[in-house]
């Protein structure tokens, strides 16, 4: 059995393992291929077609295959950024954003505008990226920027006019921003083994919901937040501090149990913990957490929480340094 496969990606020789998808080999080699439905650690899906590539070589697939569903082949020559591929991806993206607010996505002033500024393109305040809770962490926005979408993309889009889901605890759902990549459904099913949410039809359109149309509480949802962490848009978002922007992040260990889940903790400009994201590369949890680790760390922001150790001296608790406290208990 072959232990290693050699192929060329944009002229760069890449060695990888048999069975890996082209997009995985490219990422390992530091090559970026745009994608929206693919997510590391989940099965290939091939829904968005954003990661199409050109492949030449013996027994290579015809046409423009999706790199997330195409295993590597020995001696293949893979092209990821030809002018034809760029045009094809732009066409695919125009289809995706035809049902998503995109006035800001295709505007060159997106970094200069404020949420209350007068928009020269007459984009509604509710449709602006700046008023989306995932503005600074939106993969769709990053992908549109990378693809250098032109401003001649029609501003009109087909608004689904669906009510926001705010009845369940911990997180909000806005299917008007969903691009139906199915990441959330697959994370719930493949990774968590829960199957609390699924793809369903609503007036002839595919949206995300529960199988029986029940609430998440009734569907068996564990509220682990895995669906939120993989969502590339603002369709699924944490409710608490949803509008806050993180200015820094730190890696820490969840304190709720002995498992030792590693979490990336995002902090806003007021030094408040606003969200916890499981570390995908941590050996203990591999990017997963329970509802306590994901949504139960707000006690860190409590004003009554002790920030310094206290030592009882002569019957009175007094502030001490950490070395003093450790020496005292040792």
Residue extents of the structural domains in the chain: 85-147, 171-238, 248-296
Buried b (16+ CB within 10 A) or exposed e, 52-76: bbbbeeeebbeebbbbbbbebbeeb
**Percent of the chain as helix, strand, coil, to the nearest 5:** 25, 20, 55
* For residues 217-236, average pLDDT: 94
pLDDT at 295 over 90: yes
pLDDT at 1 over 70: no
pLDDT at 230: 97
114-118, 144-148, 310-314: least confident range: 114-118
At residue 257 the predicted structure's pLDDT band, cuts being 50, 70 and 90, is: very high
Q: What angle is formed at CA 94 by the lines to CA 91 and CA 96, rounded to 5 degrees?
A: 115
pLDDT at 21: 97
pLDDT at 227: 96
At residue 322 the predicted structure's pLDDT band, cuts being 50, 70 and 90, is: very high
From residue 291, alpha-carbon distances to 104, 220, 226, 302, 329 in Å are 34, 13, 10, 19, 33
Find the helix packing angle between 83-96 and 139-147, rounded to 10°.
Answer: 140
pLDDT at 61: 92
* For residues 81-109, average pLDDT: 90
At residue 129 the predicted structure's pLDDT band, cuts being 50, 70 and 90, is: confident
pLDDT at 266 over 90: yes
pLDDT at 204 over 80: no
pLDDT at 307 over 80: yes
The conformational region for residue 248 under phi > 0 = left, psi -120 to 50 = alpha, else beta, is beta
pLDDT at 115 over 90: no
> Is there a common fold for 171-238 and 248-296?
no
- CATH architecture of structural domain 171-238: 2-Layer Sandwich (3.30)
- CA atoms of 13 and 29, how far apart (whole Å): 9
Helices (H) and strands (E) in the chain, counts: 8, 13
pLDDT at 121 over 90: no
How far, in whole angstroms, is CA 201 from its chain's centroid? 24
Between residues 35 and 1, the one the model is more confident about: 35
- Choose among 201, 204, 187, 209: nearest CA to 37: 187
* For residues 201-228, average pLDDT: 89
pLDDT at 109 over 90: no
As to burial, measured by CB atoms within 10 angstroms (0-12 exposed, 13-18 middle, 19+ buried), residue 242 is middle
- CA atoms of 269 and 286, how far apart (whole Å): 28
77-81, 101-105, 220-224, 317-321: least confident range: 101-105
Pairing mode of beta strands 77-79, 54-56: antiparallel
The conformational region for residue 17 under phi > 0 = left, psi -120 to 50 = alpha, else beta, is beta
- CA atoms of 67 and 38, how far apart (whole Å): 10
Number of other CB atoms surrounding residue 328 within 10 Å? 12
Q: What percent of the chain has pLDDT over 90?
A: 70
pTM above 0.85, yes or no: yes
pLDDT at 120: 77
Quick one: which H or E segment has residue 301?
none
At residue 249 the predicted structure's pLDDT band, cuts being 50, 70 and 90, is: very high
Q: What percent of the chain has pLDDT over 70?
A: 99
At residue 222 the predicted structure's pLDDT band, cuts being 50, 70 and 90, is: very high
pLDDT at 180: 93
Pairing mode of beta strands 236-238, 248-253: unpaired
Mean per-residue pLDDT over the chain, rounded: 91
Paired with 16 in beta bridges are 5
* For residues 159-186, average pLDDT: 92
Domain 248-296 sits in CATH at 2.20.25.90
pLDDT at 189: 95
């Amino acid at each position: 059995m072959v232990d290693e496969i050699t192929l060329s990606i944009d002229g760069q020789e890449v060695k990888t393992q048999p069975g890996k998808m082209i997009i995985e080999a490219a990422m390992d080699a530091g090559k970026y291929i745009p994608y929206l439905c693919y997510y590391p650690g989940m099965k290939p899906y091939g829904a968005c077609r954003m990661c199409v590539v050109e492949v030449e070589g013996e027994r290579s697939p015809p046409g423009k295959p999706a790199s997330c569903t195409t295993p590597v082949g020995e001696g293949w020559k893979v092209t990821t950024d030809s002018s034809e591929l760029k045009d094809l991806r732009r066409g695919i993206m125009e289809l995706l954003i035809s049902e998503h607010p995109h006035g800001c996505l295709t505007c060159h002033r997106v970094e200069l505008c404020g949420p209350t500024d007068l928009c020269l393109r007459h984009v509604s305040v509710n449709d602006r990226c700046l008023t989306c809770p995932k503005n600074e962490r939106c993969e769709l926005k990053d992908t549109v920027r990378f693809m250098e979408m032109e401003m001649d993309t029609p501003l009109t889009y087909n608004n689904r006019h669906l009510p926001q889901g705010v009845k369940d605890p911990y997180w909000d759902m806005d299917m008007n921003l969903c691009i139906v990549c199915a990441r959330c459904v697959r994370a719930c099913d493949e990774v968590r083994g829960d199957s609390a949410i699924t793809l369903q039809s609503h007036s002839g359109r595919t949206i995300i919901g529960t199988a029986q149309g029940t609430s998440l509480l009734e569907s068996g949802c564990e509220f682990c937040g895995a669906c939120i962490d993989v969502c590339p848009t603002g369709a699924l978002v944490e409710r608490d501090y949803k509008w806050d922007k993180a200015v820094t992040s730190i890696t820490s260990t969840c304190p709720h149990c002995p498992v030792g889940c590693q979490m990336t903790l995002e902090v806003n400009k007021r030094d408040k913990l606003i969200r916890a994201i499981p570390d995908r590369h941590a050996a203990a949890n591999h990017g997963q957490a329970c509802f306590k680790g994901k949504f139960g760390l707000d006690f860190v922001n409590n004003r009554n929480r002790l920030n310094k150790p206290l030592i009882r001296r002569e019957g009175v608790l007094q502030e001490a340094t950490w070395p003093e406290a450790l020496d005292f208990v040792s």
